[in-house]
C-alpha cells in the first residue's frame, strides 16, 4: 500500500505539472515567430556563462551569492531528489552515487538551508526597495525549499517514513507551484538564456521574413499574440528580482516606467487570457491610455514612451530578459494607430520632409565645414574614409564644434576622409526606436545610396547613435568606427600636449557606444594619452553600468513626466566622484549634461566637453 500511495502521488504530481506546462505553452504557440536557432555555439557559451556560472548574480553581492548557493545546491541535490521519488515506488532503489556524493549533498543541503533562512529573514524584515510585492509567494517557496532540505536530511539519517512522505509531497507540490508565478524562472531560465538576443544594438524587424511593410495589416504589438514567443518566454522567466528597475534611469527619476512591472503585468495578462482551467479568454489591448477597469489595457502609453532604450535593464538581468524590442514593437503599434505624443509629432514631420528633426535646409547640412578644408561627396570628391556626421552634429550650433574637432583630429591622424553633404539624411536611429519604421526605412534607403555613391571603404562617426544605426540597423555598409576608436588606433600619429590644469576629469559612457556596442576602452585610452590629466571613474556607475543622460535622439523633444532630469542625476554622480570636468563621446550626452550642470546649480564649478574636442585641444 505504501508503494501504491507514493506511485499515486508521483502520477498525480507529474500529471498536474504536465497539464500546467501544456497550458502555459499555449500563448507561445499563438505568438509571432522569432527565429532564435542561429549561432548555436555562442548560445551554448551564454548558457554556460549566464545560467550555469551565474555570471551576473554577484553584481548584487549578497542576494547574488545566496542565489548561487541555492542554485548549485539544487543542481547537486537533483540526483538525490530523483532517487528519492523512485525509492518510494521501487524499494531499495539506488543510483549508487557513492560516498563522496553523499558528503557533498549533505553539505549542499545545509548550505541551501542556511541561505534560505537568510533570504527569508531578508525578505520579511530587511527587504530592499527593489523588492516590491510577491513577498508571500517568496516566503512560501522558501518555506518549501527549507522543508525539502530538512526532510531529506532527517530521512537520510533516520529512514523515517514521515520524513520521506513530507519530502515527497512537498517535492511535487513545489514542482506544480513553480509555473504559477515568479518562480516559473526555475524552469524557463535555461531556455531564456539560450534564446537570448545576440546583438545588443540591433532592433528586431517589424515581422520576421516580411520586407514589404505595406503588405502587413498592422504594425507592431497591439494584442498579446503580437509579441513573439521569446518575449512571452521573457515574461514567464522574470524572477521579480527588481534589478532591471533598480538600474533603470527612467525609474530612478520617477518616470512612470518600471521594466520589472512590464514583465509582471504581461505575465499576469498571459495567465488570465490562457487560464490553467477553462477556455481561452478574450484579450485586452496591450497598451493604451486607460487602466484600472475591466478590459483595460495591460500597459499605459506613458510607460512605453518613458523608455530611453539605454539597455541598462537588459545588461543587468541575470537571465537574459529583453525589453528594448518589446518597447519598440509597442511603439510601432501606437504609431500605426496615430498615438504619438504631441511633442514628437513636429520633429517626426520635419524628418520626413527635410531629413532632420529641426526641419532645416538640406543645403546647410555641411555648413559647419564652410571654412575648413573638407572634401564633399556632393561636389564629386571621394576619400577612403567617410565621416558620417548625422543631424545633431550637423545642425546644432554647439555640436557643430564636435564636427569641426573631428575633422581636425582626422587630419592630424593622416586619415583621408570626406563628408556627404546635402544628400546625407538623419541616420534614423531614434526614428526606428520611436516606432516609425516606415520613415526609418526611407531614411536608411537614402543614406545607403549616398554612402555607396561615396565609394568609401570605411566610415567614421562622432555620434554613437549613428554608429549603432550604420553598424546594426543598416545592411551592407563598410566597417564603421567611432572617432574614439580611430584616435585609440592612431595615438602614435598624434602628439599630445601636457594638460596645464589641476582639474579632475571623469568619463561618461554613452549608452549606444558602451552597452550597445561594447566600446569602453578606446575613449579611456584616448583620454589617458594626455599627459598630466587626472581621471577618476564614477564607481558603480561607469562602463556597462553607466547612467543614461536621458537625451538620446528624439528624447530631446519628448516631454516626460518625471521628478528630476536624468542628466542632473548623472552630473551629481560625477560630482560625488570628485570630478570637475565630464568628458563624453556623444553630442546628445553633451547637450544634456551641459544643460544639467546649469539645472543642478553647478555652473562655474563643473564643465562638460566632448572627447574629440579634448583631444583636438591637446594635439
Q: Tell me if 326 sits within 8 A of 298, measured CB to CB.
A: no
pLDDT score for 558: 87
Task: Look at residue 564 and give its three-state secondary structure.
Answer: coil
- pLDDT tops 80 at residue 369: yes
Q: Which domains does the chain have, with CATH numbers?
A: 1-273+296-339 (no CATH), 352-489 (3.40.50), 494-617 (3.40.50)
**276's grid cell:** 490553467
| Confidence at residue 295, expressed as pLDDT on a 0 to 100 scale | 66
User: If you average pLDDT over residues 524-530, what whole number do you get?
Assistant: 96
Give per-residue pLDDT as tens, 302-315: 999 999 999 999 99
Q: What is the mean pLDDT of residues 49-59?
A: 97
User: pLDDT band for position 280 (50/70/90)?
Assistant: confident
* Per-residue cell: 14: 507529474
Strand partners, 480: 459
Query: Predicted confidence band at 168 (pLDDT cuts at 50, 70, 90)?
Result: very high
pLDDT beyond 60 at 292: no
Band (pLDDT 50/70/90 cuts) for residue 294 is low
Cell match 550555469: residue?
52
Q: How far apart, in whole angstroms, are the C-alpha atoms of residue 218 and residue 99?
A: 62
Give the pLDDT of residue 257: 94
Spatial distance between the Cα atoms of 334 and 221, rounded to a whole number of angstroms: 8
pLDDT in the model for residue 371: 86
Between CA 354 and CA 77 the distance in angstroms is 64
Please enumerate in sequence order all residues whose Cβ is within 8 A of that of 344, keeping only pairs 6 or more positions apart, or say none: 434, 554, 557, 558
Average pLDDT over residues 351-367: 94
Q: What is the pLDDT of residues 445-495, one digit of tens each?
A: 999 999 999 999 999 999 999 999 999 999 999 999 999 999 999 999 999
What pLDDT, in 10s, does the model give residues 61-76? Answer: 999 999 999 999 999 9
By C-alpha distance, which of 478, 489, 582 is closest to 538? Answer: 582
92/469: higher pLDDT: 469
* CA 130 to mean position of chain CA atoms: 17
For residue range 3-42, what is the model confidence (pLDDT) as tens digits? 999 999 999 999 999 999 999 999 999 999 999 999 999 9
Query: What whole-number distance in Å separates Cα of residue 174 and Cα of residue 606?
Result: 56
pLDDT tens, residue by residue, 203-221: 999 999 898 998 999 999 9
Query: What nine digits make up the cell of 69?
Result: 548557493
Q: What is the pLDDT of residue 291?
A: 53
Query: Is a pLDDT exceeding 70 seen at residue 290?
Result: no
Please name which of 288, 287, 302 lies closest in space to residue 341, comparing C-alpha atoms. 302
Predicted pLDDT at 560: 86
How is residue 477 annotated by DSSP? Answer: P
Determine which helix (DSSP H) or strand (DSSP E) holds 143, and give its type and residue range. helix 135-158
Instruction: Give the pLDDT of residue 24.
Output: 97
Q: What is the DSSP letter of 331?
A: H
Evaluate the CA torsion angle 398, 404, 408, 413 in order and state its sign. Answer: positive
Q: Which three cell numbers stand for residue 243?
A: 534589478
DSSP-derived secondary structure letter, 419: E
- Distance between CA atoms of residues 23 and 573, nearest Å: 47
What are the cell numbers at 440? 526609418
The residue among 128 and 401 whose pLDDT is bigger is 401
| Spatial strand order in the sheet of 385-388 | 375-376, 417-419, 385-388, 458-461, 480-482
Mean of the per-residue pLDDT values of the chain: 94
| Three-class secondary structure of residue 129 per DSSP | coil
The tens digit of pLDDT for each residue in 232-260 reads 999 999 999 999 999 999 999 999 999 99
3-class DSSP state for residue 264?
Answer: helix
Q: Which residue has the higher pLDDT, 490 or 557?
A: 490
Amino acid at each position: 500500500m505504501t508503494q501504491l500511495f507514493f506511485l499515486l502521488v508521483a502520477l498525480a504530481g507529474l500529471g498536474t505539472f504536465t497539464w500546467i506546462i501544456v497550458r502555459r505553452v499555449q500563448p507561445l504557440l499563438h505568438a509571432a515567430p522569432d527565429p532564435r536557432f542561429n549561432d548555436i555555439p555562442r548560445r551554448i557559451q551564454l548558457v554556460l556563462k549566464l545560467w550555469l556560472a551565474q555570471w551576473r548574480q554577484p553584481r548584487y553581492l549578497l542576494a547574488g551569492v545566496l542565489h548561487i548557493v541555492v542554485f548549485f545546491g539544487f543542481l547537486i541535490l537533483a540526483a538525490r531528489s530523483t532517487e528519492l521519488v523512485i525509492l518510494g515506488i521501487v524499494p531499495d532503489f539506488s543510483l549508487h552515487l557513492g560516498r563522496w556524493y553523499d558528503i557533498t549533498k549533505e553539505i549542499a543541503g545545509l548550505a541551501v538551508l542556511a541561505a534560505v533562512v537568510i533570504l527569508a529573514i531578508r525578505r520579511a524584515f530587511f527587504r530592499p526597495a527593489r523588492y516590491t510585492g510577491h513577498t508571500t509567494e517568496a516566503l512560501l517557496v522558501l518555506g518549501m525549499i527549507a522543508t525539502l532540505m530538512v526532510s531529506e536530511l532527517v530521512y537520510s539519517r533516520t529512514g523515517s517514513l514521515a520524513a520521506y512522505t513530507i519530502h515527497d509531497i512537498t517535492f511535487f507540490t513545489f514542482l506544480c507551484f513553480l509555473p504559477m508565478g515568479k518562480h516559473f524562472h526555475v524552469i524557463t531560465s535555461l531556455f531564456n538564456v539560450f534564446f537570448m538576443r545576440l546583438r545588443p544594438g540591433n532592433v528586431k524587424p517589424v515581422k520576421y521574413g516580411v520586407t514589404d511593410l505595406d503588405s502587413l495589416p498592422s504594425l507592431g504589438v497591439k494584442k498579446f499574440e503580437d509579441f513573439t514567443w521569446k518575449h512571452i518566454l521573457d515574461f514567464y522567466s522574470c524572477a521579480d528580482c527588481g534589478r532591471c528597475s533598480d538600474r533603470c534611469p527612467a525609474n530612478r527619476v520617477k518616470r512612470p516606467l518600471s521594466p520589472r512591472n512590464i514583465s509582471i503585468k504581461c505575465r499576469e495578462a498571459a495567465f488570465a487570457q490562457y487560464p490553467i482551467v477553462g477556455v481561452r479568454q478574450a484579450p485586452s489591448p496591450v497598451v493604451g491610455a486607460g487602466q484600472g477597469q475591466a478590459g483595460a489595457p495591460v500597459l499605459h502609453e506613458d510607460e512605453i514612451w518613458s523608455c530611453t532604450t539605454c539597455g541598462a535593464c537588459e545588461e543587468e538581468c541575470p537571465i537574459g530578459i529583453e525589453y528594448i524590442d518589446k518597447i519598440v514593437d509597442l511603439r510601432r503599434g501606437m504609431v500605426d494607430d496615430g498615438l504619438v505624443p504631441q511633442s514628437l509629432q513636429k520633429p517626426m514631420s520635419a524628418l520626413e520632409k527635410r531629413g532632420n528633426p529641426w526641419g532645416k535646409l538640406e543645403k546647410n547640412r555641411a555648413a559647419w565645414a564652410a571654412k575648413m578644408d573638407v572634401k564633399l561627396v556632393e561636389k564629386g570628391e571621394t576619400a577612403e574614409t567617410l565621416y558620417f556626421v548625422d543631424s545633431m552634429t550637423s545642425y546644432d550650433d554647439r555640436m557643430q564644434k564636435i564636427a569641426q574637432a573631428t575633422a581636425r583630429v582626422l587630419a592630424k591622424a593622416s586619415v583621408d576622409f570626406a563628408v556627404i553633404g546635402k544628400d546625407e539624411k538623419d541616420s534614423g536611429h531614434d526614428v526606428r526606436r520611436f516606432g516609425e519604421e516606415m520613415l526609418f526605412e526611407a531614411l536608411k534607403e537614402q543614406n545607403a545610396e549616398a554612402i555607396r555613391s561615396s565609394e568609401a571603404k570605411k566610415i567614421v562617426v562622432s555620434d554613437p547613435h549613428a554608429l549603432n544605426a550604420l553598424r546594426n540597423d543598416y545592411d551592407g555598409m563598410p566597417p564603421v568606427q567611432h572617432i574614439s576608436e580611430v584616435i585609440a588606433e592612431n595615438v602614435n600619429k598624434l602628439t599630445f600636449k601636457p594638460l596645464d590644469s589641476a582639474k579632475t576629469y571623469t568619463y561618461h559612457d554613452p549608452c549606444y557606444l558602451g552597452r550597445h556596442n561594447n566600446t569602453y576602452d578606446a575613449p579611456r585610452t584616448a583620454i589617458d594619452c594626455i599627459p598630466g590629466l587626472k581621471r577618476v571613474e564614477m564607481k558603480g556607475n561607469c562602463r556597462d553600468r553607466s547612467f543614461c543622460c536621458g537625451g538620446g535622439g528624439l528624447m530631446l523633444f519628448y516631454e516626460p513626466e518625471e521628478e528630476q532630469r536624468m542628466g542632473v542625476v548623472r552630473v551629481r554622480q560625477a560630482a560625488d566622484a570628485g570630478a570637475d570636468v565630464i568628458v563624453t563621446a556623444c553630442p546628445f550626452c553633451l547637450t544634456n549634461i551641459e544643460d544639467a550642470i546649469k539645472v543642478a546649480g553647478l555652473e562655474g564649478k563643473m564643465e562638460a566637453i566632448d572627447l574629440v574636442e579634448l583631444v583636438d585641444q591637446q594635439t
